[in-house]
Amino acid sequence: MAFEFTDSNFSDTALGDNNVSVVDFWAEWCGPCRLVGPVIEDLSKEYEGRALVGKVNVDHNPETSMKYGVRSIPTILFIKDGEVVDKHVGTATKATLAQKLEAIL
């Protein structure tokens, strides 16, 4: 299951040194987010131990969403060593997101 990032755990989990994270900003009411959800779940299983793949519910975690300027969802951030190194806005295939993740691993 994909990790659940929150305002309170984001800094400790997603931004750690020597850490790669994929963060999907989503909301329950967002249709495109529901399309990306299963892709994020698959990636979290496939990359377990190599990258932390998870989701931030923008309705429940407004601080993190505002900090990263998330205005459209789904927005997927690729974070390495505490820095955003890539970003994808909108729906995406598993292959597209896996390719971006492989490039930063």
As a whole number of angstroms, the distance between CA 17 and CA 8 comes to 18
Active-site residue, 95 included: no
Mean pLDDT of 87-99: 97
Active-site residue, 30 included: yes
Q: pLDDT at position 17, please? A: 75
Locate the domains of the chain by residue range.
3-99
Residues written for the chain = 105
As a whole number of angstroms, the distance between CA 97 and CA 94 comes to 5
What is the rounded average pLDDT for all residues in the chain? 96
CATH of region 3-99: 3.40.30.10
Q: Which of 33, 51, 56, 101 is catalytic?
A: 33
